[in-house]
Amino acid sequence: MTNESAQPIPPHPQRVLVADDEHLVATGTVAALEDLGFEVVGTAGNGEQAVAMCRDEPPDIALLDIRMPGLDGLGAAETIYNEMQVPVIMISAYSDPEYVSTSNRVGVFGYLLKPVTRDQLRVGIEVAWSRFLKHIELSDEVGSLQQRLEQRKIIEQAKWIIVKQKSVEEPEAMRMLQKQARNGRKPLVEIARAVVDSETLLGD
């Protein structure tokens, strides 16, 4: 999936949101993050607050407890990532396989078990952010590949339309498309799309 924010993705996260319904735990996490040089943009006591805070002022990354009143951390993580493309690290006292499995499906890029030390936070955030950047890179590559495949399909369609209309061989039809693209100084796929669109209109 591609990040659609107007702001470029930083090479390293700086702004962090913390969500934990245990005040002392949240306070300790915030202190450790600030000691590591991160900017904590806010603390939330439940999933709904975390989602609202991310909508108002999206952080680079969010650290969420799993078990919170109302909307739990996994539900919040799914909304935060799908709507705002903010990666999430779960911090929990529970290591149930079901939690871990669900985390992998809802935009969670790291999973830390309580109690979490400052060094574990540092490494956990670094690893999660690296995974997130790789995911974005792969999503862009997949999108680019899909676009190229779609363009190739359109060119093939246009080529066979010309074969049928002009009674020429396939190589000649391709040369005709290429020549028109050169003469018009337009991309080949644009010429091909016009041929396909014209055939569709005539067919109607």
Q: Which residues contact 203 (CB under 8 A, 6 or more apart)?
A: none
Tell me which H or E stretch contains 27.
helix 23-35
Task: Give residue limits of the domains in the chain.
Answer: 15-116, 143-203
Give the pLDDT score at 149: 74
Give the pLDDT score at 203: 46
Q: Determine the length of the chain.
A: 204
> Could you report the per-residue pLDDT of 30-72, keeping only the tens digit for each?
999 999 999 999 999 999 999 999 988 889 999 999 989 888 8
Please state, in angstroms and rounded to a whole number, the distance separating the CA atoms of residues 65 and 59. Answer: 16
Tokens of 202: 């005539």
| pTM assigned to the model | 0.64
Mean pLDDT, the chain, rounded, equals 85
Does the fold of domain 143-203 match that of domain 15-116?
no
Distance of CA 77 to the CA centre of its chain: 13
Q: How many CB atoms lie within 10 A of CB 204?
A: 5
Q: Which fold has domain 143-203?
A: Arc Repressor Mutant, subunit A (1.10.10)
> Could you report the per-residue pLDDT of 178-199, keeping only the tens digit for each?
888 888 888 888 899 899 988 7
Q: How many CB atoms lie within 10 A of CB 96?
A: 10
CATH, range 15-116: 3.40.50.2300
